[in-house]
Chain A
Amino acid sequence: MKQNSGNISVEEAKDALMHLDNANQLAEKYLRPPLVFRVVMTFIIGGLTYAAAMSSGSSLWTFVCSIFTIALLVTMLVHYFYLRSQGVKVRICPLTRFERWFSFVSGFVVAAILVGAMQLEKAGYSWIPIVSGTINGLLAYYMFSNFTASGARIKSEGE
């Protein structure tokens, strides 16, 4: 047993970790966005990717792309203020190294699919926008379902 352990046994430590897991599950439950929000975000991010891929040389698709971007920001703001009204102020900036890394990688993957789709559509692959839109939409749904703020935190064990 370590000197800084406050002389607690392994069983007591396990018990404390069980309480912690319980609290993490409660946090997961109230932080997870409702189903309607996740579905709306899936369509917005999927639509944004599709519109961006179609936007080269088309002012109409560029306009649609802007509409989806505005819709994305508005939906995020609505969710932020909804949680605030429910008594939870969400952290905007990631705090730990793991959270920063996780945010960077997930953002990079979505952006890479979007930029890749734009380039491939220009090269003549006309099926790319629908495939990339579906991938990004489903990816967004998965992220919003499984990696809420506390989700990222739980997975940063040992940091």
Chain B
Amino acid sequence: MKEHQFDSIIHAPNRLQICALIAPNSSVEFSVIKEQLNVSDSVLSKHVKTLEDAGYIQVEKKIANGRQRTWLSLTKAGRGAFDGHVAALREIVG
């Protein structure tokens, strides 16, 4: 049976929500997540950097119509870690 892995990096509430907002999609813009979570640029950047350093999130900056857009997507490792973490939480709750 597959062992679900608790992940302390993802466990922080904001980081868990960032992963949950990106997970159903291919990628989501930084500003969308900021608006949904109602946090400041600096707070979100800090969490995104932590997830990026862990190899869970890929950050892509693109310029469209003269405006820079920052797209966030879950890496394969990030998706696996997120799914494993959620499953581990559900196992704990029972």
Q: Does B52 contact A (CB under 8 A)?
A: no
Q: Does A2 contact B25, Cβ atoms closer than 8 Å?
A: no
| Chain A residues whose C-beta falls within 8 Å of the C-beta of B8 in the assembled complex | 6
Total inter-chain residue pairs, C-beta < 8 Å: 100
Residue of A nearest to B24 (CB): A150
| Chain A residues whose C-beta falls within 8 Å of the C-beta of B25 in the assembled complex | 27, 31, 88-91, 149
| Chain B residues whose C-beta falls within 8 Å of the C-beta of A152 in the assembled complex | 24
Q: Does A124 contact B (CB under 8 A)?
A: no
| Range, interface on chain B | 35 or more
Q: Determine the main DSSP class of B at the interface with A.
A: helix
Closest chain-B Cβ to A12's Cβ sits at a distance in Å of: 8
Q: How many of chain A's residues have a CB under 8 angstroms from any CB in B?
A: 37
Q: Determine the main DSSP class of A at the interface with B.
A: helix
Interface string of A92-111 (1 = CB under 8 A from B): 10010000000000000000
A: residues with CB less than 8 A from B are 1-2, 4-6, 8, 10, 13-17, 19-20, 22-24, 26-27, 30-31, 86-92, 95, 148-150, 152-153, 157-159
A-B contact pairs, 10 of them (CB 8 A): A2-B92, A4-B3, A4-B88, A16-B16, A23-B20, A27-B23, A87-B31, A88-B32, A157-B90, A159-B83
